[in-house]
Amino acid sequence: MSVIDVDSALRWARLDPGKTLARRTDEDLPFLSDAAEAGYELLLDTCVYIDGMQGRSPDAVADLLDIRQVNHSTVAIQELMHTVGVLDPGHPGTRGAIGQIKTTIAAMPEHRIFTPDADILGRGAMLSGILCRIQGYHQDARLKALHDCVLFLQAQKLGLTVLTANVRDFDYLLQLMPTSRVLLYRAVA
């Protein structure tokens, strides 16, 4: 038995809305309100960690993280570690940034870290390919789309809600798979 249902994957790969997806208005999207509420467990997008480290998270995000069960994906850990590798070792802020990332990852309870399985990785790769085709994404955006799609499908499979400030890309994903759960916020400037 195959880990990935190739026949259904091929049917899904033919998804074509016939047009480039347009970003919907904020009123049509699931934004976090000013007051955090109880609800489904969360899976955090990488931007949640980064916004927290840089002091750009709105108070409602901190409140939400206090009242909901928080889960972590190895996709986000991978992106955080990529940041460590990209940082200029000679820059005076690099040591502090690496220290914050190390502290953030170390604080993740092991039993709350989830790794996407082969099914999620395969379907995530295909969904990102569809998104790249429909939206005309180029080089740098393709890898980012792959990570977003894997995280999105991982949350769906686990019954979790993705928390993210990546409004544009997760709006597109919700248009392609509207039954998935995402909670959006805007980072504080």
Supply the mean pLDDT for the chain: 90
Cα–Cα dist 134/54, whole Å: 33
Alpha-carbon distance of 29 to 41, in angstroms, equals: 19
71 contacts 114 by C-beta, under 8 angstroms: yes
Residue 139 lies in a domain: yes
Q: Which residue has the higher pLDDT, 107 or 143?
A: 107
User: Does residue 8 form part of some domain?
Assistant: no
Per-residue confidence (pLDDT) for residue 176, from 0 to 100: 87
Task: Check residue 1 and give its pLDDT.
Answer: 37
The answer to whether residue 3 is domain-embedded is no
Look up the pTM and report it.
0.89
Inside any domain, residue 48: yes
* pLDDT at residue 178 greater than cutoff 80: yes
The answer to whether 34 and 60 are in contact (CB under 8 A) is yes
* In a domain? residue 75: yes
Residue 127 lies in a domain: yes
The answer to whether position 17 is within a domain reads no
**What does the pLDDT look like over 28-56, one tens digit per residue?**
999 999 888 899 999 999 999 999 999 99
Count how many domains the chain has: 1
The pLDDT, as a whole number, for residue 9 is 56
The whole domain housing 120 covers 40-184
The DSSP-derived string for 1-39 is --SS-HHHHHHHHT---SSPPPPPPGGGS-B--SS----
Question: Under a CB-based contact definition with an 8 Å cutoff, are residues 104 and 53 in contact?
Answer: yes
Q: Residue 108 belongs to a domain with what CATH number? A: 3.40.50.1010
